[in-house]
Amino acid sequence: MADKKKFILAVPNFSDGRRKEVIESIVSELKGVEGVKLISYEPEHDFNRTVVTVIGEPQSLKEALLNMAAKSYELIDMNEQSGTHPRIGSQDTIPLFPFNNISLEECTELAEEIGKEIYDRYGVPVFFSGENARCKERKALSFIRKGQYEGLKEVAHLDERKPDIGEAKLHKSAGATIVSADKEGLTAYNVFLNTEDLSTAKKIAKAVRGPSGGFSTIRAVGIKFPERVGVVVSMNMFDCGKTPLYRAYNFVKNEASRYGITVTGSEIVGPVKLDYLLNSLGYYLGLENFDTKQILETHLME
């Protein structure tokens, strides 16, 4: 591993999905950087956030992410921002994941460096989550984001809610940023239903998500995309190796049938690992003794 290039996957999100000029300006900090490859960015109007997928060599990626965060802090004022997705800061999250020839421990160390630099350079407080969490509760983004920017601003002075780095308060316009390292990144997956009844989508989402009795590796909400017919069960899947896409899809399909509703299709938002598609392919085709080396394109990747 020592003589091979190391690559980290980062999937940061910032709190603007509506202003094209702002989105492009922030994302531009990741373009044309040596040792960094911007894979995609997905603005979400209703959520009012943009999710970015980027791969890079550790130090090059670190600087690019810090520059991206700086631009988010400059252009997004949390006192004016609103959207349907939970958030606490302009640069809301910077999660890192091992991608190639690098360990989780190395990603964890880099996350620590990024968190420290964010406060030292920009004065924005930092919460650590995932493998970097200072306590069990902070491993979950939902605990850190409880009350969102507006609520956290009122309680950030309390010991149980104060940032891990920085003063016990939020930045006056940028809020705070959550930095983390984890073994697996989330896969965003939407399943579409042929009904306009949002309450039914919410019931199905409640059934599928871990905290209310569903899959421990899934968080889900029922929402309406204004640009589409029907409602959506929108899922964040945190380990598609243990809980495959096909299992989540079939679960939603079966729950929908209880209400006399059918599934019209599904959507993977952003990039996805090849293995996560192959395990669903194997399931639906009933493949036996299938080897990824049977896929010709994998030889090009080597």
- The distance of Cα 266 from the centroid of its chain, to the nearest Å, equals 18
- Residue 272 has φ and ψ, to the nearest 5°, of -145, 150
Going 8 to 273 to 183 to 89, the CA torsion angle's sign is positive
Question: How many angstroms separate the first and last alpha carbons of the chain?
Answer: 15
Q: What residues are annotated to the active site?
A: 85
Q: Cα separation of 71 and 131, whole Å? A: 26
Give the residue carrying structure tokens 């809610």. 161
Strand (E) or helix (H) holding 15: none
Here the tokens at position 183 are 């073994």
Q: Cα separation of 150 and 265, whole Å? A: 36
Cβ contacts of 184 within 8 Å, gap of 6 or more: 97, 238, 239, 240, 241
Strand (E) or helix (H) holding 268: strand 263-269
- Give Dmax over CA atoms of the chain in angstroms: 58
